[in-house]
Amino acid sequence: HLTGKTAVITGSNSGIGLGVARELAKAGANVVLNSYTDTPEDHALAAEIADVTGVDAKYVQADMSKSDDCRRLIVAAGGCDILVNNAGIQHVAPVEEFPAAKWDAIIAINLSSAFHTAAAAVTGMRERGWGRIINIASAHGLTASPYKSAYVAAKHGIVGLTKTLGLETAQEPITCNAICPGYVLTPLVESQIPDTMKEYDMSREDVIKNVMLERQPSKEFATVEQLGGTAVYLCSDAAAQVTGTTISVDGGGPRF
């Protein structure tokens, strides 16, 4: 049902972003993949999606820590009907040891990039009379964990941005929502396992079950396909009145 629409997915050469791009392409949308690198593998991912689904797919290098690059990505996409703000990084440390440069990078990539891309994309959505902005927040957009000050602040911030853009576009055929995933086993999560093992002096298995999935009652990771499917739903007519809100995909995770 998304034939003729163009979706721009930030941070989509891996993990959830790539999963969302694949599901949107399966639903017929042309897709623009992005990350800060510019390798043959990056471009090959776009070619593979085009091959498998028959949609137009391309890869645009742009660094989501830089405001100019965020805006250039939207221009280079040549139209953006569906904007998925997904690029994100993580750093785990107690606040007194948290490197200031990491704080700045997390706020820039996980929060400010969504402001810049949305600001650049919304006028075109208005002109074409349809738009979907989907922010990949996190369960940490709704609740907190120790040692993740920048991440939790950025994710709460993007939930606030989502509510505001939902209001600004409420009387137009544009919606803005946030998806709040619990734990999904992607490279980002994988990279947290060694540090957490050290921190709690636990085995890999115990870290997964008792730390990561401690607050995920289903005791299962969510999958990138499930998150892609949620994005496809938010792009459907059924979701036309769903705006300015969050959808949790977290196995029944914390509601406080």
Residues contributing to the site for ligand NAD (CB under 6 A): 10-17, 34-36, 63-65, 86-89, 109-110, 136, 138, 181, 183-184, 186-189
Q: CA nearest 226: which of 174, 186, 173?
A: 186
**Which residue number, 6 or 112, has a Cβ lying nearer to ligand NAD?**
112
For residue 181, the minimal CB distance to ligand NAD (Å) is: 4
Among candidate residues 87, 125, 122, 93, the one with its CA nearest the CA of residue 107: 87
Q: What whole-number distance in Å separates Cα of residue 86 and Cα of residue 82?
A: 12
Whether 200 is catalytic is: no
Nearest distance from residue 77's CB to ligand NAD, in Å?
14
- Least distance (Å) from ligand NAD to the CB of residue 141? 8
Give whichever of 157 and 181 is closer to ligand NAD, judged by the CB atom: 181
- Rounded to 5 degrees, φ, ψ at 189 are -75, -40
Catalytic residue, chosen from 36, 151, 183, 200, is 151
Largest Cα–Cα distance of the chain, in whole Å?
55
Nearer CB in complex with ligand NAD: 88/124: 88
Measured from the CB of residue 70, what is the shortest distance to ligand NAD in angstroms?
9
125 or 137: whose CB is closer to ligand NAD? 137
In terms of residues, how long is the chain? 256
Q: How many CA atoms lie within 13 A of 255 on its CB side?
A: 6
How far does the chain reach from its first CA to its final CA, in angstroms?
36
Residues marked active site are found at 151
